[in-house]
Amino acid sequence: MYYTDLIRDLRLQLWGIIYPQWRADLFSVRWWLIASVIAICYAIWWKYVDKHRLSNILLFGSFIAVSRIIMDDFGASVGGFVYAIRLISLGHALFLNDLTVFPLTFMLVYQYCSTWKSFLVCSVIANAVLCFAFLPLLSSLEILQLYTWRYYYTFLIILGIAIVMRAIMLTVLWFEEQDGTLERTELPSTLLAKPARRHQFSKSDSDKQKR
């Protein structure tokens, strides 16, 4: 029992540090900045998301969010980084990156990119902006403090997750289409059957048929 008691005592000590600091930062300029970014991101996402495909887009986004939470939990647990400012006192600042910026961005990439080539290109660009521009901005504002973690760790992990999750989603949609349980409006264009081209007869062909 000594092991579990020690963990509990250490967590109580950590809570005794985190909670007073969170109360001190509550409603500060940086706290309001985080809240504003979250609200703006969701407003933009809601405006542009395809409401007809909302269920499978949200499923894809939830995969990204869960993977991002696991990555953040691992990185913070091994001391790779620390979020200095949190929207709420619980967790590792889940709302900003894990539940907002990263999943919402990749949901729009998933929605608008119907081919693997376009998805890969847009994923690399969007992920690069988030990892090498947005995250360093958070560091410069002292919202995020990196220690042994590197930005390219996040870039490679999230890019790999996005590729795997799109492959899973397309496989699931393909099985649902074969089973006839999926509505046509929920299918990405890569899965939609293309209509057969009609043969256009020339005037000479028409004359030949008459003869």
Looking at every residue in the chain, the average pLDDT score rounds to 87
Q: Is the pLDDT of residue 96 over 70?
A: yes
- 202 vs 29, more confident: 29
Per-residue confidence (pLDDT) for residue 1, from 0 to 100: 62
Q: Is the pLDDT of residue 196 over 90?
A: no
Per-residue confidence (pLDDT) for residue 188, from 0 to 100: 60
Measure CA 140 to chain center.
23
Mean pLDDT, to the nearest integer, of 108-135? Answer: 97
| Token reading at 62 | 């939830």
Q: Where are the beta strands (DSSP E) in 43-190?
A: 81-83, 144-146
pLDDT in tens, 34-84: 999 999 999 999 999 999 999 999 999 999 999 999 999 999 999 999 999
Task: Give me the percent of the chain exceeding a pLDDT of 90.
Answer: 68
Q: How would DSSP label each residue in 143-155?
A: SEEESS--HHHHH
Q: How confident is the model at residue 177 (pLDDT cuts 50, 70, 90)?
A: confident
Alpha carbon distance, N-terminus to C-terminus of the chain: 98
Distance CA 184, CA 140 (A): 46
By 3-state DSSP, what share of the chain in percent is helix, strand and coil, each rounded to 5? 75, 5, 25
Distance CA 173, CA 97 (A): 27
Q: How confident is the model at residue 187 (pLDDT cuts 50, 70, 90)?
A: low
pLDDT in tens, 126-176: 999 999 999 999 999 999 999 999 999 999 999 999 999 999 999 988 888
